[in-house]
Structure formats: C-alpha cells, structure tokens
Structure 1
C-alpha cells in the first residue's frame, strides 16, 4: 500500500513538473527582460518555492525564504525545462504502453484479434515479458527524472557546501562570544544583587547584633528578622545562579516554583512525555524565569501563561503575558536568553507589539 502511494506521488510529481516545464518554456523568455524588477523576482521566487515543495525539498534549505537578488531562481526554472520535457516523454511512453496493454487485454478477452494478432501461448508470453521490461524502464525513468530534478534544485539553489560550512563556523563563533558575554553579564548581575542587597542587609544585621551586645537586648528580635531576610535573599540569588531543584524535582516542579514566587498569577502547562537533557531543562527554566520576571516588573501584566510542549524533536517553550508590550529582543535580559538558546542551536523569538500581548517562544532541540 505504501509502495503504491509512493508510486502515485511520483507519477503526480513528474506529471506536474512536465506541465510547469511547458509553461516555463513560454513564460521564462517573456520574464527575462524584466528580471531585475522586484515584482518579477517575487513571482519567480514563489514559483521556485512551489517547485521545491513538489520535489519535497525544504524551501528554507534552498534559501528560498531569503530576499535574494542573484537571479538564481530564474536560472533554475530555465534549467529544469529540459528535465520537465524528459519527464513528459517518459510519461508518454508509459501512457502508450498502458493503453496498448488495456486494448490488447480487452480485445483478446472478447475473442477478437488485436492489430491482426490472435492470442497464443508464445505470443502472450512474449508480450507479457516485453511489457514488464518496458514498465520497469518507465518506472526507472520516472524515478530518475525525479532524482535529477531534486539534484538540480539543490545544486542551483542551495548554498555551496564550503560557504555553508564557513557560515556555520561564523555562527558558532558568534554564539560562543554571545555565551561568554551572557555569562559575564550574569556574573555582574549576581555581584550587584550581593552588593546592593545581601551585603547591605548583613551589614545592618552586624550593627544590630553589636548594639544588642552593648545592652540593647530588645534589638535581638530585629536582628533575627534581618537574618531571615538575608537568608531569603541568599536563596533567591542562589536560584538565579542555578536552580538546584531542577536536578531533584525536574523542570515541571521547578516551573511550578517560579509560578509560586511570581508577583503575578502564572498558569503553567507542562506536557513532556520524557525528561529532556539537562542543558535543555536549564535553558527552558531560565527562559520562563526571565520572562515571568519581566512581565511582573516591566510589562504591568495581570497574568502570565507558560506552555512547555513537545514538537517533533524540539521542546517548545511559550510564555505569554497580557501586559503593555513593547519588549525588545535586544534588551539585556532577553538578549542573554537569545544567546543561551542559540548556544543549543535553538530558535528564540519575541513578539511584543505596543499595547501587548508579549509572547516569547524558545524552540530547543533534543534530538
């Protein structure tokens, strides 16, 4: 059944390719004088995208999602015309063979001669063998045309392997530099938290204890309160450095802790069938934690929804708040998250129009 479906798909793909090749042989010469116009380039790109989908190729992999002006799409459409015509010839031979087989079977089953030939055992064996050979050649021709078209599309539209490798090296260098910058930024933030918060509170605690020792025992209650607050701040700073609950409780429980500590109501939907790798859990946690903190401090949000779901081999984290919007992906906290996600070869997007809502999506690969 699956083989039959694949055969029908192949037949349909080559048939459609023949039609588009014939249309292209007429339209491409008309488009050549206007190839520099943006409207023509956009139309040619849309046709190339349709051809890529017909061949089951990813348009993004062929760079058809980019605004390129090198004219390569038009050259590709012109170069594939002969292959489309070749596919049409193979289809014509297939149609001729099938129609002949149907006519012969119809005539001989009714006891009538076909093209002056009466059925006999040697003749039936000869025609059957010849038909199987021709069918095999036709099917091989269809697969060959499809493979040639796919190879032509990749050769003419996809980036050069050397250039792709160079671009990948550049991306890795940039992501490495971004991770180092994010680490330095996080260290500076921790230092500010310790200096401006915890250190000042410990200084006040020390002064209270000193005054209590000099005959002010009523200050011990205040010292105890300051000690409790210092411990709470120390725990908060430690959780920002690394949430230890991830190791023992997992991402779902750690996100529930973020919701409990948040200053705005947070609804968490956690729908993962298996526990993701540690690096993915950590990145997902910090994405949610930073997004919820921003919603409470800057977005004036009344509620936040958090979704963590599986999508193919990706863990998709989506955080949405109903605040005032206007968040920028280049801001300090969000840019650090973007670099953290990029270090895992993930995708990070921020949608925050003025007036809201703000939606932050992180796609983290697990495969």
Structure 2
C-alpha cells in the first residue's frame, strides 16, 4: 500500500513541475503557430511543434501507466506523405493533436488540484516525525491539551501514534488524487471509442488479408505436394503396371518384379497422401482430442518431450487445430535448429483463453520473423490470438501463444 502511495506522491509532485513547463510550452507554441498561420511557414513549424508535443505526451503516458497499472496506447494515426506542408495540414486535422494540447494546458490546474493529496501526506508525515522537530518551535499560548501534545515528550509520541494510525487515510487520499488525475489524462491521451473501433477494423482487415494469403499459400503447397509427390508416384505405378502387362501379353515373361515395384510406388503414394492429410488436419485430433495428439507428437520426437495439459475441457476444433500446429511447428524447429536436450509443451485454459507454451533448453537465437513462425502467426491471428517468441542467444527459446476459446 505504501509503495503505491509513494508512486502516487511522486506522480503528484512531478505533475506540478511538468504542469508549469507544459503550460508555458503550450501557450508559447500556440501563440507562435497563430502568428505564423498566415504564412507558408505555418505547416512545417506546426509539424516540429507537434513532434515535440507528442514526445512530451509520450512521457505523460508512461507516468499515467505507472499510476493506473496498465499501458496507455498512443492515439496517433499514420501521417501520409513526405511533404512537410501536407503533413502539417494532416496533423492539424488529427483530433489527437488538439487533445494533446488540451492536456498540456490542463496539467498545471490538475497538478494544483493534486496539492490536496500532497498536503494530506505532508501533514501526516510531519505528525509522525513530531518528536524530531516539534521541540524547535515552542508556543506558550496553546490550549492545555494541545500544549501537552506539542511541548512534552510524551505528547509528541502520542502525535506520532496518531499519525501512524491516520497514515492509511493519507495514503488513500494521495492515491485517489493521483488516480483521478491519471484517469483524466488517459481519457485525453489514449484512443477514444471511435478510434479504437477504426483501429480494430484496420487490424481485422490486415488479419483477413494475411489469412487469405496464408490460405492461398496452403492451397499452393497442397497442389505442389500432390503434383510432385503422390500424383507422380501413382503415375509411375500405372506406367510400371502397363509395362508388366505388355511383357505378359507379348512375350509371356513373368512380371513379378514390375508388380512389386508398382506396389512399392503405390505404398509411397499412400504414405505421401497420409502425410499431406496430417498437414491439413491430423485425424488423431478428431478421433482422440488435443492432449492425445500432443502425446503422440511427443512420442515421435527424437528428444524427451514433456506434455502438460490438464483440465482443458471442450475446445473448438479450429482452436484445437491451431494449438496443435503451434506445438508441432515449434517442436519441429527445436529438433532442426535448437540442439536441445529436452522440450516442454504446456497448455492451460483460463478465463476463455487457451495458452500454449513450448519451451526448450537449446541454444536460442531463433528469428521471430522467420517463415515458419510467420506461418504460425498468421494461423493464430486468424483466430484473434497472439503469439510471441523469446529466444535469447544461449537459450532458452519460449514460444508463447494465446488463443480465445470461449464456446
């Protein structure tokens, strides 16, 4: 509690200093921009002023995030073009620019309002340490009870006890004052409801394009595998059988070797088709579920793999498939590149989210933007999930995935 109160006091105190500086900055830059608004210098000057202002408000977002305990996202839209005049005019039309300016002007009054919390904390601290300083300011004209409290050693320690008893109240007042100010700052400095909807729409549009690209790439892979793999082997088996038939019809020669070759070619084609089907959707997922599929995956791995997955309950097929492929691809990367001696696959389900974490003790250094991980990212993003890769040089490598799984 007191640690949080100390952070709140630091926020309120720095608000006074920053509030004066930002108020002067906002006032001066507004006047200069207004004077230059009738000249060609207005857009580029406004561009520079806005750049500095956004750095200041970026610092304010960090302070607010420390008080609220959550990140405060910037609301700025991308500014197109390289022409400073066009960019300056675009910034003029951006509502976030004016909300930043409003907060720069409001920070000083908000900081002055926060003096109530600072005063409560300062008075309480002074009462707590009364024995250390109150003896230096004697006052013979005090009422009897107050005189005893202020001018006797026992009375001063009573004040210390009272201050300690009221410390939670002073702490609460300072914390509430800081949080109230931080909430007002967050309302102005983070995206509003419309901006959040617009950002979400853009994110979904980008995700949809990535999903479409991923599906197209998957179809091309399936077609290539069918053409170069199973289809080629089936054609070869047909040609071998045709050759055997010709031998038997024309010369009566035995064709056992050709028939055996054709059988091997058909067996290879069947194995290729099974591998292709497993790459699309493993049948074991449908037959036995995610935990059994992961256990089978771990059993086939050339290194010890521990699977931790209990109490998952019913999981949607699409989520189940994505979780399996995340684990399978991560394990394949571990086997190919990590030089690991062991791997752990942990799957948990909490509050409508399925979390998949694959950890190995390999040499690390995995590229989060690699083609394999990028394919997983597309698959996960298609379900509105997130995936992150932590792989410092020397290891360990951790692939952490979260998938919404509310039914």
Q: How high is the TM-score relative to the length of structure 1?
A: 0.67
C-alpha displacement at 1:236, in angstroms? Answer: 0.4
Could you say what secondary structure the match of 2:357 adopts?
strand
1:146-174 deviation digits (Å, cap 9, x = unpaired): 45323312222111221221111111122
Structure 2 vs 1, CA of residues 357 and 273 (structure 1 numbering), >3 Å: closer, same or farther?
closer
C-alpha displacement at 1:37, in angstroms? Answer: 11
Residue 116 of structure 2, aligned match among 74, 89, 92: 89
Query: 2: distance between equivalents of 1:270 and 1:362?
Result: 15
Residue 164 of structure 1, aligned match among 190, 196, 201: 196
Structure 2 vs 1, CA of residues 360 and 115 (structure 1 numbering), >3 Å: closer, same or farther?
closer
Could you say what secondary structure the match of 1:80 adopts?
helix
The corresponding residue for 1:19 is 13
Contact preservation (8 Å) 1:284, 1:317: no
1:53 aligns with 2:66: yes
Please identify, of 182-191 and 68-77, the stretch whose mean Cα deviation from structure 2 is larger.
Answer: 68-77
The corresponding residue for 1:62 is 73
Contact preservation (8 Å) 1:324, 1:356: yes
Gaps of 5+ in 1: 104-111, 117-134
- How do residues 126-165 of structure 1 correspond to structure 2 at under 5 angstroms? 145-146=177-178, 148-165=180-197
- How do residues 128-277 of structure 1 correspond to structure 2 at under 5 angstroms? 145-146=177-178, 148-213=180-245, 214=248, 215-259=254-298, 265-275=302-312, 277=315
Could you say what secondary structure the match of 2:242 adopts?
helix
C-alpha displacement at 1:254, in angstroms? Answer: 2.2
The corresponding residue for 1:130 is none
Contact preservation (8 Å) 2:67, 2:179: no
Query: 1: distance between equivalents of 2:307 and 2:52?
Result: 45
Contact preservation (8 Å) 1:288, 1:319: no
Q: How high is the TM-score relative to the length of structure 2?
A: 0.62
RMSD across aligned C-alpha pairs, in angstroms? Answer: 4.9
The corresponding residue for 1:114 is 145
Contact preservation (8 Å) 1:341, 1:348: yes
Structure 2 vs 1, CA of residues 63 and 234 (structure 1 numbering), >3 Å: closer, same or farther?
same
Query: 1: distance between equivalents of 2:304 and 2:405?
Result: 24
1:235-278 deviation digits (Å, cap 9, x = unpaired): 1011011112112333343234445556xx34434333332733
C-alpha displacement at 1:182, in angstroms? Answer: 1.2
Gaps of 5+ in 2: 30-47, 80-90, 131-142, 148-166, 249-253
